[in-house]
Amino acid sequence: MGQSGLSTKSKLAIAAVASASLIGVIFLISPKHASDHSADCTVNNEILQTIQPADAPQDVPDVTFFKADGSKTTLKDYAGQGVILNLWATWCAPCVREMPELDALKADLAGDNIDVLAVSSDRAGHTAISEFYERTGIKNLDALHDPKSVAGRALGVRGLPTTLIINPDGKEVARIVGIHKYDTEESKAYFKRCIGTLP
């Protein structure tokens, strides 16, 4: 039977299905949806092999960090932007090696709606952090502290350094356990496509 033989009800049903399909396609290619598409966080370069993409975006607990002035900040305060969350300590040699690179990375990615957070679990708190920042010339990273590693445990951190890659929706899309080269063009490009703002 040709289309001319279809009832009005059938024609409306076909139109509804076609419209729904079109909406689905538009949703899949929209920038907001594309920003958390797992394909954007796949590792396709040997330099990036330390990055472990999640099978699917994972919810992240809204943990609390302490600033130098005693005030608090939480991950929810960074909603709507990508976050590279590095857990470190001044007694951790690999952590110390990464800090200048993370400091530069924060400035490099600021225009891509990505923030870099370095959270220390040092027992001496901000005394140790401020002394380290001054001695090593860290100038871009905020001084953040995680007393008694409460936040680290909530985030499932088992060793330092550990870095969580969090998308603008507040979900973990990848993780780095151990040291990573943050000052490479490959790393910067990865963060931009994985958790940055798409054009």
Six token digits for residue 58: 């994972």
Tell me the pLDDT tens digit for each residue of 89-100.
999 999 999 999
Question: CATH homologous superfamily for 37-195?
Answer: Glutaredoxin (3.40.30.10)
pLDDT, position 197: 77
Closest listed residue to residue 114, CA positions, set 198, 32, 186, 196: 196
pLDDT, position 37: 52
Position 130, amino acid: S
Spell out the domain ranges in the chain: 1-34, 37-195
Q: What is the pTM of this model?
A: 0.81
Tell me the pLDDT tens digit for each residue of 5-60.
556 555 555 554 444 444 343 333 334 444 445 679 999 899 999 999 999 999 99
Tell me the pLDDT tens digit for each residue of 118-176.
999 999 999 999 999 999 999 999 999 999 999 999 999 999 999 999 999 999 999 99
- Per-residue exposure over 70-88, b if at least 16 CB sit within 10 Å of its own CB, e if not: eeebebeebeebbbbbbbb
Of all residues in the chain, what percent are helix, strand and coil, respectively (each to 5)? 45, 20, 35
